[in-house]
Amino acid sequence: MPRTRTPVVAGWFEGDGDGFRLLGTRCASCASVFFPREDHYCRNPACASGELEEIRLSRRGRVWSFTDSRYRPPSPYVSDPELPWQPYVLIAVELAAERIVVLGQAAPGVTVADLAVGMEAEVVPGVLHEDAATTWTTWHWRPAGVRA
């Protein structure tokens, strides 16, 4: 039986391939943008609005910083304790249009040696982990020019 593809968090991203985007919200009153999404209140202290609309965030941004995770993170991160730990890279990407920095895992195969602060990166669909019934999907950052 094929696994069901389920976002690790509902409503944070949508689309496939080149159409994949992070989803945020924008305040209908002051235009502040939020990711992860705020749906019930605007966090601008000068704004009392409770009306926020969903928006698709920019696909590309610039690397603000990066690191990696050389040791297995604790639960609720899911990993198979029977398998040797495979480090992965995390990238914080600054989106110019939204003036926001969003953290994410790098696409599989990206190493810190591939990266530099200021480099362009784009958001791509990714898989966080799989279990018997479900493929848990997420977003990944892929640095431009790195075909991992």
Binding site for other proteins (CB under 8 A): 8-9, 27, 30-36, 43-46, 64-71, 73-79, 88, 90, 92, 97-105, 112, 116-118, 128, 138
Using the minimum distance from each CB to other proteins, give the nearer residue, 1 or 43.
43
Work out how close the CB of 137 gets to other proteins at its nearest, in angstroms, rounded to a whole number.
11
Using the minimum distance from each CB to other proteins, give the nearer residue, 19 or 87.
87
Q: What angle do CA 111, 115, 120 make, to 5 degrees?
A: 130
Tokens 């926020």 label which residue? 52
Using the minimum distance from each CB to other proteins, give the nearer residue, 15 or 29.
29
- Sign of dihedral through CA atoms 92, 77, 26, 141? positive
Using the minimum distance from each CB to other proteins, give the nearer residue, 1 or 113.
113
Q: How far is CA 7 from CA 87, 100, 129, 137, in A?
A: 22, 22, 11, 5
Work out how close the CB of 48 gets to other proteins at its nearest, in angstroms, rounded to a whole number.
13
Contact 119, 62 (CB under 8 A): yes
Cα 58 from Cα 101, distance rounded (Å): 11
Work out how close the CB of 84 gets to other proteins at its nearest, in angstroms, rounded to a whole number.
15
Q: What 3-state DSSP class applies to 17?
A: helix
Work out how close the CB of 5 gets to other proteins at its nearest, in angstroms, rounded to a whole number.
16
